């Protein structure tokens, strides 16, 4: 599976660990993130991830910034995107099961790398339940 990832300077170490995990799981990674700790603007790295999901170039995305908020807000400007800001694996599971989240937004300054890796595993192994949730997900985009 192809997974797009984008991060700002707060998420570089997280991104490197996550890319290692994804590759060990056999996934192909599209890296849109910075590899530096020099200050950058997160939208420059998040919009390409959202575009990859919207175009079908990637199945899922992972975005990382300090709080996760700016990255999620940016990604959710795209009609086809359902980016979920999560800080534990339970929220990740619900975001996939109930909201069919296609991008996981991680708050680098509020979670540890091992926790982020566990959250990524949950994101990739949890299926959307559909049913009553599908009706709700269909109502999310502004049309």
Tell me if residue 47 is catalytic: no
Tell me if residue 32 is catalytic: no
| Closest listed residue to residue 61, CA positions, set 71, 50, 70, 74 | 50
Cα-flanking dihedrals φ and ψ of residue 98, to 5°? -100, -30
CA pair distance 89, 126, nearest whole angstrom:
10
CA pair distance 139, 143, nearest whole angstrom:
9
Annotated active-site residue in 32, 65, 78, 86: 65
Annotated active-site residue in 27, 32, 47, 98: 98
CB 32 within 8 A of CB 41: no
Q: Which residues are catalytic?
A: 65, 98
């Amino acid at each position: 599976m192809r997974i797009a990832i984008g991060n700002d300077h707060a998420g570089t170490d997280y991104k490197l660990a996550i890319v290692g995990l994804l590759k060990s799981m056999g996934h192909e990674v599209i890296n849109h993130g910075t590899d530096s700790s020099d200050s950058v603007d997160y939208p420059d790295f998040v919009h390409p991830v959202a575009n990859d999901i919207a175009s079908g170039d990637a199945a899922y995305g992972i975005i990382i910034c300090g709080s996760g908020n700016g990255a999620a807000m940016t990604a959710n400007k795209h009609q086809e995107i359902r980016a979920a800001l999560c800080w534990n694996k339970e929220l990740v599971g619900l975001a996939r099961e109930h909201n069919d989240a296609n991008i996981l937004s991680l708050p680098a300054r509020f979670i540890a790398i091992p926790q982020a890796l566990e959250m990524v595993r949950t994101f990739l192994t949890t299926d959307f339940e559909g049913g009553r949730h599908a009706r709700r997900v269909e109502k999310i985009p502004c049309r």
